[in-house]
Amino acid sequence: MTEARPDQTVLEFEHVYLVLDDKPVLRDVSFRLVRAETKVILGASSSGKSVLLKTALGLFRPDSGRVAVFGRDITGLREEELYPIRQRIGMVFQEGALFDSMTVYGNVAYVFQEDRALPAEEEEERVRRALRFVGLEEAIEKLPSELSGGMRRRVAIARAFVGQPALMLYDSPTAGLDPLTAQSIITLIVKLGDLEDVSGLVVTHRLQDAGVIADYFYDPESEGLLPAHSNGRDYDTKTSVLVLREGQVVFDGARDEMFRARDAYIRRFIG
């Protein structure tokens, strides 16, 4: 592990405005994500969650304001300058977006192309390690069509993670999954954050996802989640919650504070 200050900022939005098709989609969005922190992004459909993630990747450029990734302002960077920064970000797209004609191996190894090529043995070891991490090594030769929805989602996470990114962006990783499978995906996200110190933005419309991420940590011994605050234990899960409403940040802070918020929109989320 590299030495880093605990307060190291991994991602920062400063007064970001973004207009798409004459419609303001992000409106004065500001937030900060520090090393090993997981920020859960809640918001209704079309509130700008996916656009926010894509803006962090440099796929959308703010009309005003600033986005900094790993301390570097990416707002005015050219595509080829963005490339090495994107390599340090793992993106899990909505619905996983796997290549249907490629095996699980091919999908996960996809990042090791061209200038990122590795010796074959090393590539295979990295792919196997990532698949082991998500509990799918035995599916390595399968095609996506042979996998369940939850397994495909896990492959997508392995693919995003195999390049050892410092920042993971998850777009609705639990959407469309049954509750048990959704829980296993959240467990995996917590595991990545806790064992690998990866920072993350997790878009979800499920409030319970935020609760699990905020209240549990990954225990390698039992290979499962344990409550962060019980039996005198006080584990810092380094979790925060950001609520987007029509492109505006209406809440950014600790999950417990969210429950105390009076805002009607937030209350609708937390039922």
Ligand X SMILES: Nc1ncnc2c1ncn2[C@@H]1O[C@H](COP(=O)(O)OP(=O)(O)O)[C@@H](O)[C@H]1O
Task: Report the interface residues with ligand X, using CB under 6 A.
Answer: 20-21, 25, 43, 45-51
State in angstroms the smallest separation of the CB of 29 from ligand X. 11
Q: Do residues 12 and 31 make contact, with C-beta atoms less than 8 angstroms apart?
A: yes
Could you say which of ligand X, Mg ion, none residue 55 binds, taking C-beta under 5 to 8 angstroms by partner kind? none
Pairing of strands 9-20, 64-69: antiparallel
Could you say which of Mg ion, ligand X, none residue 47 binds, taking C-beta under 5 to 8 angstroms by partner kind? ligand X
Could you say which of ligand X, Mg ion, none residue 45 binds, taking C-beta under 5 to 8 angstroms by partner kind? ligand X
Cα atoms in the Cβ-side hemisphere of radius 13 Å centred on 1: 10
In the bound state with ligand X, the residue whose beta carbon lies nearer, of 68 and 175, is 175
* Residues 22-61 as x/- pattern, contact with Mg ion by CB under 5 A: ---------------------------xx-----------
250-260 burial by CB neighbour count: b if 16+ within 10 A, else e? bbbeebeebee
* C-alpha to C-alpha distances, 263 to 81, 112, 266, nearest whole angstrom: 41, 46, 5
CA 184 remoteness from chain centre = 15
Could you say which of ligand X, Mg ion, none residue 168 binds, taking C-beta under 5 to 8 angstroms by partner kind? none
In the bound state with Mg ion, the residue whose beta carbon lies nearer, of 49 and 245, is 49
Residue type for position 58: G
Residues that bind Mg ion (CB under 5 A): 49-50
